[in-house]
Structure 1
Amino acid sequence: MDEKLQDNIQLHTILEKIRELDIPLIFITSNSNNTLEGIQINQKEIYLSRPFEPREFILTMQTAFYKKNVERALHESENKYRILIENADDPIAIVDYQGKFTLVNKSAAIFFSCEEEKFQGKTMWELFPPEIADLQMNNIKKVIDTGEGRIFENKSIIRGKEYFFSTNIQPMPLKNGEVGSVQLIARDITPMKMVENALKKSEEKFREVFNNANDGISLHLIEEDGSPGKFYEVNDVVCQRLGYCKEELLEMGPLDVITPETKEKLYEVMRTINSKGKATFEAIQVTKEGGLLTTEISNHVFTLQGREMIMAISRDITERKKTERQILRILAGIEGAGDAISIAMPDGANFYQNRAFNELFGYSVEELNIPLGPVKLFADLELGRYIYQTIMNGNRWDGELEMVTESGRIFPAYMQANAIKDNKNRIIGLICVLNDITERKRVEYALKTSEEKFRNLAQTAVDAIIIIDGEERIIFSNNSLERIFDYRAEEIMGQYIDTLIPQRYMEEFQVKLDFFHQDDLGVGNIFESFGMRKDGSEFPLEMSLNTWEAEGNVYTTFIIRDITQRKLDEFKLKMREDIFQLMSQNIDEVFWIIDPLTGQILYMSQSYHKIWGRSISNLYQNPRSWIESIHPRDQEKFISYIFGKNGKTTSHREGIECSVIRPDGEKRRIKVRAYPVINQNKEIYRRIGIATDISDWTPDSG
């Protein structure tokens, strides 16, 4: 700008036009102080005094272009930053030291049901409850004062509903380098918190159930030689039962708390466990004070943290054994009684009938095991209901009356009926003792229950019925025997009982049979064994036997039931229980839950860091980090699969394999399986995924 042109109005007009072009300007002046008289110059413009060297002029031009490029880059950066904030899914805001909002993006305004303009200039206390605003401002001021960003988790009440946020607060430096405001990026972690709380409650419930179970539960290691090792965990019941504290037991093992006789049995049990994975046996345990406890222990092998362990559930059956012996003695007496005896529940349903009762009335306990079922035995039904009500009112009844059998025979009988009460005088059942007082009717009943009647009844029975003599030869069989064993009556008649029992179970069967004969246990003795059909196939069965005498000869009646389906049902139920416990306690794979609509991670299991090499907190700060860790060639396949975009293909059923690149550069190979979760409206509202580390997998390892 030559001094001669300083007062030129046209020059000023040209200068303004040049400035509008947003191009670098260099002002050349003759003044030594780099000023131009009569021209307003801003601080960004460059001056050059005359005289100057060509090299100096070139350097000045380069400086002017550099500054202009920096200005443009800064302007573009600010625009991109603003666009990024305005279009971000997470609520973002800029707040100053006084708690005033200077910028709020659309996501924040939508989330809080408010327009962006209404946030501008408002303070925390104008938008949130005082206690929440105070807490948030304390965090903001800490960041401004220290200049260090922080991540806080906090709770807010929005539209009357409780929300949890993970807020990333970062300082916003001013041009002079000072921090006067912060940027807040809030992530709604309410679903994650709900999952965390649910898992915490589930763990607390498990621990409460574990320690408050009626049975003793313990985990112990397996030594290299297959013998039981030290206890790994025990619940409170085990400690209380054996008299040791938990610390003492964790220095001991199962072999330290059993008798020598049980130790010998335990080695055989361990061999069974090693071959079949489970075993149940009775053991005599020794308490710290030297007392003996009879326990039933169910053992099951599982893997925990890469080590094989045994979970043992022990039940103290000391009192049960005593009670069983007492009950056997009582039942033996009741079964041998000549009077008909029945015991019913408070609703009048029979649950026990002795042999005399069954013989007298012809009804099985199952037929009378319905409310007021025995009332049908009274010839006068109203009298039967009256007697039942009298007993349930706490009174007794005795006298003569007429009864009716299953066959419809009416006979005179003498009955004594009374209520059964517990130690609190509450009625818990009723007992009835009845006998036929007519000799003639008794003889008639005996004649009608002769062999012909027995055959007629037996042939209609669903269960197979056979009778063997003293030499254990079959002298009678019903039609159901052919259905169950495939033997016709003429084929099986005269054969020994071992024709129907597999050879390897015959010794056990004979022991049980001899036991019942020697102890004269009579009617209702039930035990399980195995049967063998005509074609040699085997199946589980249940036998009820009754030994009786006629004309000096001893006979045994067997009622045989095929329990194959029952055993299958029991096995399936046990398998489901075992699988559930193993999965809930010992899963090593990475497990996640995703919202398919938003793509948000609702839950990630603790095993995440083992494969990805990153912490879960890092994942929630950068939700895409786990996808970015997938090898680039696998990312598209991984994303499509976990979000169900590939439809029902082979990979949908069998899973896919991908590579994970950990922060340290190590690569891990994983197999991924994903499944949809359907809600009541038959909509996919969650997607569940499981990742298994197969880096070390070889064909030999399975």
Structure 2
Amino acid sequence: MWSVDSDFKLIVGNKTFINQMSEKYGMILERGSNLLNPKYFEDDYLKFWKELYSKGLWGEPTKIEVLVPKTEQLESNLLEINLNPIYNEENIIGIACIARDITERKKAENDLLESEEKYRVLVEQASDGILIADEAGKLINVNASLSKLTHYSEKELLNMSIYDFTIPEDIEKNPFHFSDLKMGKVVITERIMKGKNGILFHVELTSKLLYDGRLLVFARDISRRKKIENKLIESEQFLKETQIIASLGTYSIDVITGKWTRSEVLDSIFGIDSNYNLNSENWMNTIVHTDWQKPMIDYLTNEIIDKKIIRQRV
């Protein structure tokens, strides 16, 4: 901190300013010292500071960031400098100057900007839809994949809330897990979402409450997977009904562990229940006729178990 009169001479300076000028430029200051002494400074330096001081002397408050070059004694640093006119009644008699080292702050700001840019690129390139909502549920940040998923434009999405995608039946079956989110848990749920023009689709949502109360949600489209699962369930149900009609039982056996599983129809045919010990010995005694037990054991041992082991080794 220092002050300068209309002739660019020092009125007063604090200890930090006096020491900095001494260490960086070898200039010993006292009241009345010329702060633009050509003995200590290059022409560019003198021109810059003369223009800066002159603005203050003309009554113009100034705030500027100045990079102070490195010297043999000190590293370079970035200063934020504020200059304000000093008045004596209506006359400007000098300038009050305050310099603050903002090197670390600027570095932190640049690091944050770089981090935010990497995050933005990552979010935009993500295949999952990503949104951030405020405490009221209003969307404040979305990526391109969410637009593609919902068929809403980014502009439309930013005028919506998380509740605009819900359908009452789904919420009734699976309410929002706000209590878990408030406890810091990551919540993963499957939901039916409503997109533009009433389009319905299945999503897997991964949600996390951020430290500032905002909600971060990753939305993955699982519509295709759900269709396959439903087809499989239908096929299994069809097979089960067909077996019941035809009185046809089925079973499978793990030749390594000796454990086997079977259909309900097979239980009915052989009169066994859920308490029946499902091992290879009982399987052989229950399913296979005594005349075929030895050939069956030989076949399983030589053709399946041994060859499976050989393939695994190869």
In which range does the TM-score fall when normalised by the shorter chain?
0.5 to 0.7
Q: Distance in 2 between matches of 1:302 and 1:240?
A: 25
Q: Distance in 2 between matches of 1:246 and 1:284?
A: 21
Corresponding residue of 2:269: none
* Structure 2 CA distance for partners of 1:222 and 1:265, relative to 1, 3 Å: farther
Corresponding residue of 1:283: 191
Matched, 1:191 2:104: yes
Q: Please list every run of 5 or more consecutive structure 1 residues that lacks an aligned counterpart in the other structure.
A: 1-89, 224-228, 328-354, 360-448, 456-465, 478-545, 555-702
1:172 offset after TM fit, Å? 5.6
1:116 offset after TM fit, Å? 0.7
CA contact under 8 A between 1:171 and 1:183: conserved in structure 2? yes
Q: Distance in 2 between matches of 1:235 and 1:553?
A: 59
2:70 is matched by which residue type in structure 1?
A: I
Corresponding residue of 1:677: none
Q: Distance in 2 between matches of 1:267 and 1:222?
A: 22
Q: Distance in 2 between matches of 1:122 and 1:222?
A: 55
CA contact under 8 A between 2:27 and 2:40: conserved in structure 1? no
1:391-418 CA distance string (max 9 Å, x none) = xxxxxxxxxxxxxxxxxxxxxxxxxxxx
* Structure 2 CA distance for partners of 1:101 and 1:253, relative to 1, 3 Å: closer
CA contact under 8 A between 2:133 and 2:141: conserved in structure 1? yes
* Structure 2 CA distance for partners of 1:107 and 1:266, relative to 1, 3 Å: same
Flag the structure with larger Rg: 1
1:94 is matched by which residue type in structure 2?
A: V
1:114 offset after TM fit, Å? 1.3
Q: Which of residues 217, 235, 239 is equivalent to 1:312?
A: 217
* Structure 2 CA distance for partners of 1:326 and 1:247, relative to 1, 3 Å: same
Matched, 1:215 2:121: no
1:341-393 CA distance string (max 9 Å, x none) = xxxxxxxxxxxxxx99x96xxxxxxxxxxxxxxxxxxxxxxxxxxxxxxxxxx
Corresponding residue of 2:67: 155
* Structure 2 CA distance for partners of 1:264 and 1:214, relative to 1, 3 Å: same
Corresponding residue of 2:114: 201
1:268 is matched by which residue type in structure 2?
A: K
CA contact under 8 A between 2:150 and 2:194: conserved in structure 1? yes
After superposing the two structures, state which structure 1 stretch, 236-245 or 290-299, moved more.
290-299
Q: What does residue range 50-129 of structure 1 map to in structure 2 within 5 Å?
A: 92=2, 94=4, 96-97=6-7, 106-116=18-28, 120-121=33-34, 123=36, 127=40
Q: Distance in 2 between matches of 1:95 and 1:134?
A: 17
Corresponding residue of 1:248: 156
Matched, 1:238 2:139: no
* Structure 2 CA distance for partners of 1:189 and 1:230, relative to 1, 3 Å: closer
CA contact under 8 A between 1:100 and 1:124: conserved in structure 2? no
2:144 is matched by which residue type in structure 1?
A: D
Q: Distance in 2 between matches of 1:162 and 1:237?
A: 45
Corresponding residue of 1:167: 81
| TM-score, with length taken from structure 2 | 0.57
CA contact under 8 A between 2:188 and 2:206: conserved in structure 1? yes
CA contact under 8 A between 1:102 and 1:121: conserved in structure 2? no
CA contact under 8 A between 1:95 and 1:101: conserved in structure 2? yes
* Structure 2 CA distance for partners of 1:116 and 1:185, relative to 1, 3 Å: farther
**RMSD (Å) for aligned C-alpha atoms:** 4.9
1:269 is matched by which residue type in structure 2?
A: N
Q: Which has the higher strand share?
A: 1
Higher relative contact order (CA 8 A, sep 6+): 2
Q: Distance in 2 between matches of 1:322 and 1:250?
A: 30
* Structure 2 CA distance for partners of 1:178 and 1:231, relative to 1, 3 Å: closer
Q: Distance in 1 between matches of 2:219 and 2:160?
A: 17
CA contact under 8 A between 2:63 and 2:81: conserved in structure 1? yes
User: In structure 2, the residue corresponding to 1:475 is in which secondary structure?
Assistant: coil
CA contact under 8 A between 1:293 and 1:316: conserved in structure 2? yes
2:77 is matched by which residue type in structure 1?
A: Y
* Structure 2 CA distance for partners of 1:190 and 1:303, relative to 1, 3 Å: closer
1:257 offset after TM fit, Å? 3.8
CA contact under 8 A between 1:93 and 1:108: conserved in structure 2? no
CA contact under 8 A between 1:143 and 1:182: conserved in structure 2? yes
Q: Which of residues 173, 185, 193 is equivalent to 1:268?
A: 173
Q: Which has the higher helix share?
A: 2
Q: What does residue range 183-582 of structure 1 map to in structure 2 within 5 Å?
A: 183-220=96-133, 231-254=139-162, 256-257=164-165, 263-270=168-175, 273-277=177-181, 279-288=187-196, 293-301=201-209, 304=212, 310-318=215-223, 471-473=273-275, 475=277, 550=284, 553=287
* Structure 2 CA distance for partners of 1:203 and 1:133, relative to 1, 3 Å: farther
CA contact under 8 A between 1:269 and 1:279: conserved in structure 2? no
Q: Distance in 2 between matches of 1:468 and 1:326?
A: 23
